[in-house]
Amino acid sequence: MNLGTRKVVDRAFSGLGVTSIVLLAAALVVILAPMVLRGTGAFVFRGTVEFRRLEFEKFGRGNPDRLKAEQAAAIRARKTVYDMLKVFPREIEQREDAFRAEKRELRKKRRAARDADVAEQPERKAALDRREKEFDGRRERLDRQKADFEEVHKLVGELLGPPPGEELHAVWDKQYGQTRWDGVEKKVVLLTKIDQWVQPDDPQQPNYLVRTPRAKLYEGTALAGLFDYVEDHAEEMFLPKWTFYWRFLTDTSDSAHYFGGIWPEILGTIYLTLGSMVFAVPMGVIAAVYLVEYAKEGPTIRVLRTFTNTLAGVPSIVFGLFGAVFFIRTLHLSEGKSVLVGSLTLALLVLPMIIRAAEEAIRAVPRTYKEAALSVGAGKWRTVVTVILPAALPGILTGIVISMGRAAGETAPIIFTAAVSVGQPLNLGQVFNHPTPALPWNIYNLCTEHRAVDEIRHVQYGMVLTLVAIVLLLNLAAIVMRARISRKMRS
């Protein structure tokens, strides 16, 4: 090949490499961006008066006087809605009475027509048929309105919360309306528009969505004005204000995560992570010391290494099954799932990582340190404890921090050993026999098994952001530590 061509090929090759790196960075951005952007929505959002009411009533925060004033203003704005809702059933009753009367009249006419002259009959019958058809149309419309009204009632309840003066439901999410302005906007759309999936004539094509204003269904009734009113006066009814809700991290929530924070999950994750380290760190460091300082090259060390690698390759879900069968059903460490069992399972999972990191750190300690210690008469054990381990400590810590990130983010091993979807924050004494909610499991749980997945997207994103932030901060710490070590080593 010609030299110039070879050069071009070389450049092209480098170009391919750089492209792959760019794609990698793009993948990272594509994955992190939605988490960060929408995750912040759990912390920073436009809170409504309902949010401030919740804050005050459940957590005792906020200024009661101002809240009272706001609430009064909101109730004033909402009164029109409640009035319309109250009037409409009466209107339905009246119209139903009118319909019954009309029906009777129609029947009478029909009978009269049957008795009348034979010659006139076809004409009168046709007229009657027309009238009856029109009547049926109106009647059916009323029925549709009646059925739809229940939906409207439900939606208004979800939007505004229970009407003032009504007895409060025991569950939080039935006590309050929409606490977030984006939730209000979504509910307003649901309230003012009717979505309908239409199947096209060609069954190969996918169904498509048709959206009609709900006001059309209620044209000419007392409810017709409701939808425009809600749309136009939503701000007055909710008084949205930008809120920085950092207590999302430290608040508990009601059972279904509609409101409140994610403290139980965070605490559970902290317990599981630290718990797994309690077991894994001593074992891992001792194993590394043995592998580097004591074991002689040979079959023992080969077998040990092979088994460590095998342990590292065991799928995480299998760890979960093993933890459930061994720690719970064989050793009976606790009656069911518990933080203890989850920690032990996670410890097994991160053990190979810690062994490897500690091994590398110990190996990186210069020989001269060891020789100096031995030459002043320290025994082997003493050399290890007083010279080698302190020198290797930063490296070992780096490995531990990375494994903590791994343990915090693992889901599959804790499904059968430690995690529950609903729970209160545990205290230290309950760790041995209580399961706990934990961030990774609850993320999964909330976005697959929750009854209103779409309404609590912000909580899911907030949880994901929190978990990713925890893990990435740990890794960042490790990166910084490693940079410092390598700088120290070079100088």
Partner 1 sequence: MNRGDRGLILSRRADRLRRLGGLFGHGLLLAVTSSSIIAVLFIFFFIAKDALPFFRTEGLREFFTQVAWYPTEEPPAFGALAIFFGTAMVTVGSIIVAVPLGLAASLCLSDILPFALRQLVKPIIELLAAIPSVAYGFVAMVVLAPLLQEQGGRVLAVAAWIVGTPLAAISVIVLSDVAGNAVPKPFRKLGRIVIGLLLGLVAIEGLATLSGVLSKVQIVTGVNALNASVILGIMALPTIISVAEDALQAVGRELREGSYALGATRAETLVKVVIPAAASGICAAVILGIMRAVGETMVVLMAAGGASHIPEPWYNFFASVRTMTATIAAEMGEADQSTGSAHYHALFALALSLLVISFVLNMLSEWAVHRAQKKLRGE
* Least Å from the CB of residue 354 to partner 1: 11
Considering the complex, state which of residue 203 and residue 429 has its C-beta at the smaller distance from partner 1: 203
Considering the complex, state which of residue 315 and residue 366 has its C-beta at the smaller distance from partner 1: 315
Helix (H, G, I), strand (E, B) or coil at 119: coil
* Least Å from the CB of residue 78 to partner 1: 33
Q: Quick one: which H or E segment has residue 362?
A: helix 339-364
Amino acid, single-letter form, for residue 195: D
Distance CA 396, CA 394 (A): 5
Q: Quick one: which H or E segment has residue 212?
A: strand 208-213
* Least Å from the CB of residue 143 to partner 1: 35
* Least Å from the CB of residue 81 to partner 1: 32
* Least Å from the CB of residue 284 to partner 1: 9
Q: Which residue in 126, 143, 164 sits closest to 49, CA to CA?
A: 164
Distance CA 80, CA 230 (A): 9
Cβ-contact 440, 409 below 8 angstroms:
yes
* Least Å from the CB of residue 357 to partner 1: 13
Question: Phi and psi at residue 253, in whole multiples of 5°?
Answer: -125, 170
Considering the complex, state which of residue 285 and residue 339 has its C-beta at the smaller distance from partner 1: 285
Give the Cβ contact number of residue 249 at 10 Å: 15
Considering the complex, state which of residue 289 and residue 400 has its C-beta at the smaller distance from partner 1: 289
Considering the complex, state which of residue 159 and residue 287 has its C-beta at the smaller distance from partner 1: 287
Chain centroid offset of residue 138 CA: 46
Question: Phi and psi at residue 34, in whole multiples of 5°?
Answer: -60, -35
Give the Cβ contact number of residue 222 at 10 Å: 17
* Least Å from the CB of residue 474 to partner 1: 8
* Least Å from the CB of residue 204 to partner 1: 9
Distance CA 373, CA 165 (A): 81
DSSP assignments along 29-52, one per residue: HHHHHHHHHHHGGGTEEEE-HHHH
Q: Which residue in 470, 446, 448, 471 sits closest to 458, CA to CA?
A: 446
Q: Which residue in 344, 339, 343, 333 sits closest to 434, CA to CA?
A: 339
* Least Å from the CB of residue 381 to partner 1: 6
Considering the complex, state which of residue 11 and residue 104 has its C-beta at the smaller distance from partner 1: 11
Considering the complex, state which of residue 35 and residue 113 has its C-beta at the smaller distance from partner 1: 35
Cβ-contact 408, 439 below 8 angstroms:
yes
